[in-house]
Protein backbone atom coordinates (compact mmCIF):
# COMPACT_ATOMS: atom_id res chain seq x y z
CA UNK A 1 0.00 0.00 0.00
CA UNK A 2 1.31 3.41 -0.99
CA UNK A 3 1.25 5.06 2.46
CA UNK A 4 2.41 2.02 4.44
CA UNK A 5 0.94 1.12 7.81
CA UNK A 6 -0.71 3.35 10.38
CA UNK A 7 2.06 2.30 12.77
CA UNK A 8 4.63 3.96 10.48
CA UNK A 9 2.72 7.25 10.64
CA UNK A 10 2.21 7.12 14.40
CA UNK A 11 5.77 6.29 15.42
CA UNK A 12 8.06 7.71 12.73
CA UNK A 13 10.58 10.26 13.95
CA UNK A 14 10.90 13.78 12.61
CA UNK A 15 7.76 13.76 10.46
CA UNK A 16 4.76 16.04 10.71
CA UNK A 17 1.75 14.41 12.37
CA UNK A 18 -1.20 13.57 10.16
CA UNK A 19 -3.94 16.23 10.02
CA UNK A 20 -6.96 15.52 12.22
CA UNK A 21 -9.22 15.10 9.18
CA UNK A 22 -6.93 12.35 7.86
CA UNK A 23 -6.75 10.68 11.27
CA UNK A 24 -10.55 10.61 11.47
CA UNK A 25 -10.74 9.14 7.96
CA UNK A 26 -8.30 6.37 8.94
CA UNK A 27 -9.99 5.37 12.21
CA UNK A 28 -13.44 5.51 10.61
CA UNK A 29 -12.26 3.29 7.76
CA UNK A 30 -10.68 0.78 10.15
CA UNK A 31 -13.86 0.69 12.27
CA UNK A 32 -15.97 0.16 9.14
CA UNK A 33 -13.72 -2.74 8.17
CA UNK A 34 -14.21 -4.38 11.57
CA UNK A 35 -17.96 -3.75 11.41
CA UNK A 36 -18.08 -5.44 8.01
CA UNK A 37 -16.25 -8.50 9.34
CA UNK A 38 -18.54 -8.74 12.36
CA UNK A 39 -21.84 -8.24 10.53
CA UNK A 40 -21.22 -10.22 7.33
CA UNK A 41 -23.31 -13.37 6.84
CA UNK A 42 -20.22 -15.41 7.75
CA UNK A 43 -18.76 -13.21 10.47
CA UNK A 44 -15.04 -13.11 11.19
CA UNK A 45 -13.30 -12.52 14.51
CA UNK A 46 -10.18 -10.58 13.50
CA UNK A 47 -8.11 -11.01 16.73
CA UNK A 48 -5.10 -8.86 15.74
CA UNK A 49 -6.35 -5.27 15.49
CA UNK A 50 -3.35 -2.96 15.82
CA UNK A 51 -1.73 -0.04 14.01
CA UNK A 52 0.76 -2.28 12.18
CA UNK A 53 -2.13 -4.20 10.58
CA UNK A 54 -3.94 -1.13 9.26
CA UNK A 55 -2.55 -0.36 5.81
CA UNK A 56 -3.14 2.93 4.00
CA UNK A 57 -3.57 3.49 0.27
CA UNK A 58 -2.55 6.69 -1.54
CA UNK A 59 -5.68 8.51 -0.33
CA UNK A 60 -5.31 7.25 3.28
CA UNK A 61 -8.15 4.73 2.98
CA UNK A 62 -7.63 2.15 5.74
CA UNK A 63 -7.44 -1.54 4.86
CA UNK A 64 -7.18 -4.31 7.45
CA UNK A 65 -4.35 -6.78 6.84
CA UNK A 66 -2.83 -9.93 8.36
CA UNK A 67 -5.70 -12.33 8.88
CA UNK A 68 -3.41 -15.06 10.22
CA UNK A 69 -5.16 -15.11 13.62
CA UNK A 70 -8.68 -14.55 12.26
CA UNK A 71 -11.38 -17.05 13.09
CA UNK A 72 -14.88 -17.64 11.77
CA UNK A 73 -17.48 -16.16 14.09
CA UNK A 74 -20.38 -17.96 15.78
CA UNK A 75 -22.57 -20.09 13.49
CA UNK A 76 -25.76 -22.14 13.80
CA UNK A 77 -27.18 -20.17 16.72
CA UNK A 78 -24.02 -20.18 18.85
CA UNK A 79 -23.87 -17.21 21.19
CA UNK A 80 -20.07 -17.01 21.30
CA UNK A 81 -16.82 -18.66 20.31
CA UNK A 82 -14.54 -20.07 23.01
CA UNK A 83 -10.94 -19.34 22.20
CA UNK A 84 -7.74 -18.65 24.04
CA UNK A 85 -6.51 -15.05 23.89
CA UNK A 86 -4.57 -14.32 20.71
CA UNK A 87 -2.94 -11.32 19.12
CA UNK A 88 -0.81 -8.52 20.52
CA UNK A 89 -1.58 -8.19 24.24
CA UNK A 90 -0.95 -4.44 24.37
CA UNK A 91 -3.79 -3.90 21.89
CA UNK A 92 -6.26 -6.38 23.39
CA UNK A 93 -9.11 -5.49 25.73
CA UNK A 94 -8.27 -6.36 29.37
CA UNK A 95 -11.46 -8.42 29.73
CA UNK A 96 -10.42 -10.49 26.70
CA UNK A 97 -6.95 -11.22 28.11
CA UNK A 98 -8.44 -12.09 31.51
CA UNK A 99 -10.53 -14.95 30.04
As annotated, the active-site residues are 48
Phi/psi at 30 (5° precision): -65, -40
Amino acid sequence: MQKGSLENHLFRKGAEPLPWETRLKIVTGAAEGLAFLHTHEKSVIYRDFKAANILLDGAYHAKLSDFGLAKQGPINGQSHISTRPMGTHGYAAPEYIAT
